[in-house]
Structure 1
Amino acid sequence: MSREAHGRRPSAGAEAAVVREGLLLIDADRRLLYANDEARRLLKLPADCEGRPLRALGLPADLLALLDGGRDLTDVSVAVPGRTLGLDLRHTDRAGGPACRIATLRDTAVLADPDTARRRLELLYRAGASIGTTLDITRTCQELAAALVPAFADYACVDLCEGVLDGGEPRPARNGTMHRAALTGITAQPPLLPPGASVPVVPGTPRARAVSTGHPVVEPDLSAALDVWDDIRPGAVDAMRDEQVHTLIAAPLNVGDTMLGLATFWRARPRPAFDEEDGALAEELTTRAAVLVDNARRYTREHTMAVALQHSLLPAGLPEQQALEVASRYLPAQAGVGGDWFDVIPLSGARVALVVGDVVGHGVHAAATMGRLRTAVHTFSSLDLAPEELLGHLDALVNRLDQENPRPDGAERPITGATCLYAVYDPVTRRCSLARAGHLPPAVVHPDGHVEIPDLPAGPPLGIGQLPYETAELELPEGSRLVLYTDGLVESRSHDLDHGMKLLRAALAHPGRSPRETCDDLLDALLPTSPADDIALLVARTRALPADHVADWDVPADPAAVARVRAAVTRRLEDWGLTEQAFAAELVLSELITNAIRYASGPIRVRLLRDRALICEVWDGSATSPHLRHATDTDEGGRGLFLVAQLAERWGTRYPASGKVIWAELPIGPRYGGAPGETFEVGEALDGGEPLTPRTTP
């Protein structure tokens, strides 16, 4: 029913729509081929009527004579027990078709009472406009129950089969029970089990008959059913008797051959008992409502799958690192899970990357796309790329994916339109490098509470592939807060982006707040009641690596300098209380410095960082990357990097603005002990030099 028509009075032509027509299809041998539900109700046909001869169905003689006749009929009145029907009869062979007859039946009592027809139509119209306003199963059931109280019934409840509420396929009720999803009534406390309760389907009752047959059951007198319920659970129906509940209609919520649940409508005295016409009205309404419940069920299933996928793809926890104190939030949209994500990725040199991104759209496809982009960012970040280079690679990947997976039928939307912000913070220099692909700029909260929205080059969204990305650099005082977010936080139906940014500034303008408190402040100030878009929020408070945790030396291109650097490193490690790491650090640095002197160009610099691990770095002016390989027995060199890889937890190469940095992380702890009393003589050149030989100290 059109929602745009809501509020207009039904037309006279629409009144005829409420007059339900029975339909019979009869073959040339006078056998009933088909009868719809209304024909079965009007003629009280048996369940197995189809395929049987007309004379075996117990039809009134007058009606049988008309159906057996050879004439076409229009609006002929015929009496059947309890009512008078209007009959139309058409022979299909008159137009060259098969020798069949189509009969339509209408209850003339309804036609004769236009006021009753109008009231029923208006009730159906109002109910149809009020049911299914959301894709929430429970809400839809509540709307169905409320639609007919008090206009049609005194109490109404909706019970669902197991599995429906969670979006799954309906399952046979365990122990004959259903889940009560909705209840409403004319009293504050209806005399029925409340929502959320497990409701038994008691054999021998009208509700049980409706469940077993799949057809509505009208029970004018509930006395016997109340006695059955009372025998099973003594006192359970005392409240119903007190309220004088005396009649019900139990109407299954059927979609095709699948039963989703059961709607039950009750009346109390002095209202009259339900009759067959009331049953037809309830069936009409529940048939429409069942489709809406099924839509909500299917949406719930997809939403549940998308939420599960989204949470499995988002980081389960934040990694350990010392450069930033970080807190995060992710909130799915009420309308469906989207493709927002965030990440915290430790990099070499004690640096940390912060990522936030947004894939256009909602549902499983958006969540899966987000997972692909997040994996790609992790892969590219492991190469220690600059922010603008990483976004360039990500943009090329999105273009390639869209070209490799076209969807001409529109079944899946392309990835084009995703946005991303990538930032790298260095706790040694306190500088942050940022680049963004169509994403909103971050907010920087200085230690004094001043809020700044840096003017970063925007760059096109991912997949456009037309313009290069640019990196901007910010110097952040220690204790600054860097706030990364997606547009769902600052833009909603209730306010535009500009107003949202004002609210963001106001919520952040408080010094001394921790990242966790900052997240709470932002959600309290900006989170809409019903978010239309999902929200990813990442807040990081900067730390600086203390100056006495950093040591560096310039190294002349002279092999004799290796010993001097090694001695200086040993003294610094003794000052740091890391004498147990001195042996491994000497081996690693001797190899890396010697290689730089032999194969690279100057200037050469050595840097030690004391962080979660001991970080050894050798800087040189060459862009040539070393490669790890297995040396053969006859090779004079090639074993140095293999030794570095064995001693270090992680090692690799990154490329700053000029030259390269080869780095290795050594764990801080007693890991490198040999046999008691055993040490090693360290040579000045490991790769291609003399092999190390152990010597035993006295």
Structure 2
Amino acid sequence: MSERPPPRAAPVTVLLTSDGRITGWSEGAARLFGRGPGEAVGAPVTDLFGEPPGGPTAEQLVAAFGHAAEGRPWSGVLPPAGDGPAADGGLSVSCEPMTVQDGGVAVALTVTPPWAGRLELLSEAGRRIGSSLELHLTAREAVAVTVPRFADAGAVYVLERLLADDDRPTAEVDGSVVVRRLSIVFADDDPRGWAREFPVNEVIVYPPTTPYARCLATGRMVEFGGDAVQDTLAHRTGRLIDGLLDHVSLLAVPLVARGRALGFAVFSRKRGRPPFAAADAALAAELAARTATCIDNACLYRREHRTATALKASLVPAAVTAPPGLEIAHRYLPAGSGVGGDWYDVVPLPDGQIAVVVGDSVGHGVTAAAAMGQLRVAAHTLAGCGFPPAVVLERLDAIAQDLHAAQFATCLCLVCDPATRYCEVACAGHPPPLLTLPDGTVRRFAVPQGLPLGVSDRAHPAEYEQVPAAIPPGATLALYTDGLVESRRRNVDEGIARLASALVASQAGTLEETADGVLNLLSDQCGNDDIALLLIRAARPS
């Protein structure tokens, strides 16, 4: 089904003589201005409009119509006269020459009613604002759609504490507010240097007496003029900026979503344009409501992303130091959520040995990551205390039973002496490591299989067998999680066979190159699960 175009209101055309008297009057003009043809025809067109502050006078307007008859069109925004149907906002007016039947020249005055632009603006705002969950882009979309159609300048400010994930109150103790400017847009005719004076991401403190602080404190829109602008600028910069005081009509509109104040938007109009009227304020409130919802969504996404990043950092060691005699390379690829339940760790032991632990919980996402974060810390502590691999798994199993009911996990624990390459291994339902020998053959590292962590109960605790093994000189041991070898298209055995082939094909380079090569070769095999890969290579005798 195709997208419907935004609603449009047809402009009204009025015919004039070159001296500004009405000669043609349509039904649309009668509805817009609230007067019939008998009252309108022959009257001066200036009776239809008021004089905007700083804009053309009635005499200047008539002169503009005369210039239009000579081939010099004119356009602008004029306030309507009186309290007719169009009295709730400025009218977009344009005049151009028009040839009439007797060969003479008249002026065609095209008037667009105020609500036409509002409907189009709201429709466009609905399509453009919130096109992504990127916070700054959302803020820029909110003001870019309004300038210059609705305002000559617009900006969005968000409370700094929201960006810092702080739960302090909206206002400081003295009633001041601390906000960050996320976007600002000026009309094209404003000085380009203003972008330097009002940079994006600037953090500003507004005292409680400013319209901005009052807007947030009351949750209501505040309309103000040039004097307040001057006072605000003097507070912020200690000086005035040429031309900025031409912005004489301003609105500070609170951004409120889900009952929470997020910040505010500011819109301004310059001299020569009608000041904001009641209908404009209603439109600004609609735009602010849409903007607030999208900014709140972007803030929530930003917070979730930061949480995911922090969890991801806690799942894998910040650095892995290989002892003399061994090389170690490691990779971690989370699933689409950004965090997962896979983890690995390399723990140096006091006697020069190392303990290597690889784990994988059921599922992925924040819940799995939180559970595995606890297991990783526990495994690091237990291994660091010198417990043998079987005992580490037994105690991890007891800990897993106290976690979320669905958080079963597989785990493999290995203790290796770098000098002799002698290992002790225990396994809790984890895929078997693969050993790639220097001659290119690959075999499974023999490990005993035990129950996954958390499957047993306290009445019948799991017991894990521990067996000896060795890494031959120049061989590479690969420890991994099932996300690397299992997908909907292949079972685990097929995946392990492909991993073995990838290890052989990639072993000629450095260990880091081998790790990258394996992931590249198996990229089509990886499904929607987290992946952990840890390679240990024993040095050849010198």
- Taking structure 1 as the reference length, the TM-score comes to 0.46
Distance 1:397 1:214, change over 3 A: closer
Distance 1:163 1:202, change over 3 A: closer
Equivalent in the alignment of 2:93: none
Which residue of 379, 382, 385 corresponds with 1:379?
A: 382
Does the 8 Å CA contact 1:226/1:237 hold for their aligned counterparts? no
Question: For the residues of structure 2 that align with 1:268 and 1:490, how far apart are their CA atoms?
Answer: 65
Question: For the residues of structure 2 that align with 1:349 and 1:464, how far apart are their CA atoms?
Answer: 33
**Residues 1:238 and 2:239 are matched in the alignment:** no
Describe the SS at the equivalent of 1:172: coil
Letter matched to residue 355 of structure 1:
V
**Residues 1:415 and 2:414 are matched in the alignment:** no
Equivalent in the alignment of 1:278: 280
Does the 8 Å CA contact 1:161/1:171 hold for their aligned counterparts? yes
Deviation at 1:375, TM superposition (A): 0.8
- Taking structure 2 as the reference length, the TM-score comes to 0.57
Distance 1:120 1:299, change over 3 A: closer
Spell out, residue by residue over 1:465-515, the C-alpha distance to the aligned partner (whole angstroms, 9 max, x if none): 6999999987644344445455778999xxx99999889949982645255
Does the 8 Å CA contact 2:342/2:360 hold for their aligned counterparts? yes
Question: For the residues of structure 1 that align with 2:520 and 2:219, how far apart are their CA atoms?
Answer: 49
For residues 3-152 of structure 1, the aligned pairs below 5 Å read 8-9=3-4, 115=116, 118-127=119-128, 130-131=129-130, 133-134=132-133, 137-138=135-136, 140-146=138-144, 148=146, 152=150
Equivalent in the alignment of 2:536: 540
Letter matched to residue 167 of structure 1:
D
Letter matched to residue 538 of structure 2:
T
Letter matched to residue 413 of structure 2:
Y
Deviation at 1:193, TM superposition (A): 1.5
For residues 448-459 of structure 1, the aligned pairs below 5 Å read 454=444
Does the 8 Å CA contact 1:159/1:182 hold for their aligned counterparts? yes
Does the 8 Å CA contact 2:357/2:412 hold for their aligned counterparts? yes
For residues 80-479 of structure 1, the aligned pairs below 5 Å read 115=116, 118-127=119-128, 130-131=129-130, 133-134=132-133, 137-138=135-136, 140-146=138-144, 148=146, 152-153=150-151, 155-169=153-167, 170-172=169-171, 177-184=178-185, 191=195, 193-201=198-206, 206-219=211-224, 222-229=225-232, 231-232=234-235, 233=237, 236-238=240-242, 240=244, 247-255=249-257, 258-267=260-269, 273-297=275-299, 300=302, 304=306, 311=313, 315=317, 318=320, 321-322=323-324, 324-326=326-328, 328=330, 335-346=337-348, 351-359=353-361, 360-363=363-366, 366-372=369-375, 374-376=377-379, 378-379=381-382, 382-385=386-389, 394=396, 398=400, 400-401=401-402, 414-416=406-408, 418-427=409-418, 430=421, 454=444, 462-463=453-454, 476-479=471-474
Spell out, residue by residue over 1:108-151, the C-alpha distance to the aligned partner (whole angstroms, 9 max, x if none): xxxx9884564254234314xx41743x5445434544554566
Letter matched to residue 379 of structure 1:
L
Equivalent in the alignment of 1:64: none
Letter matched to residue 263 of structure 2:
G
Question: For the residues of structure 2 that align with 1:419 and 1:184, how far apart are their CA atoms?
Answer: 54
Does the 8 Å CA contact 1:351/1:425 hold for their aligned counterparts? yes
Letter matched to residue 510 of structure 2:
R
Letter matched to residue 207 of structure 1:
Y
Does the 8 Å CA contact 1:158/1:262 hold for their aligned counterparts? yes
Does the 8 Å CA contact 1:483/1:539 hold for their aligned counterparts? yes
Spell out, residue by residue over 1:498-554, the C-alpha distance to the aligned partner (whole angstroms, 9 max, x if none): 999889949982645255x76788899999xxx9987655443324799xxxxxxxx
Distance 1:446 1:247, change over 3 A: farther
Deviation at 1:165, TM superposition (A): 0.3
Does the 8 Å CA contact 1:250/1:264 hold for their aligned counterparts? yes
Give RMSD over aligned pairs: 5.6
Deviation at 1:316, TM superposition (A): 6.0
Letter matched to residue 242 of structure 2:
D
Letter matched to residue 201 of structure 1:
Y
Describe the SS at the equivalent of 1:180: strand
For residues 546-625 of structure 1, the aligned pairs below 5 Å read none
Does the 8 Å CA contact 2:342/2:372 hold for their aligned counterparts? no
Question: For the residues of structure 1 that align with 2:335 and 2:165, how far apart are their CA atoms?
Answer: 18
Question: For the residues of structure 2 that align with 1:481 and 1:523, how far apart are their CA atoms?
Answer: 16
Percent identity among equivalent residues?
34
Task: Give the count of matched residue pairs.
Answer: 421
Distance 1:124 1:451, change over 3 A: farther
Describe the SS at the equivalent of 1:164: helix
Deviation at 1:195, TM superposition (A): 1.8
Question: For the residues of structure 2 that align with 1:149 and 1:524, how far apart are their CA atoms?
Answer: 48
Question: For the residues of structure 2 that align with 1:476 and 1:540, how far apart are their CA atoms?
Answer: 9
Describe the SS at the equivalent of 2:160: coil
Letter matched to residue 536 of structure 2:
A
Distance 1:176 1:143, change over 3 A: same
Distance 1:193 1:476, change over 3 A: same
* Long gaps (5+) in structure 1: 16-80, 86-111, 407-413, 547-698
Question: For the residues of structure 1 that align with 2:140 and 2:485, how far apart are their CA atoms?
Answer: 33
Does the 8 Å CA contact 2:210/2:228 hold for their aligned counterparts? yes
Deviation at 1:289, TM superposition (A): 3.5
Describe the SS at the equivalent of 1:282: helix
* Long gaps (5+) in structure 2: 10-81, 87-112
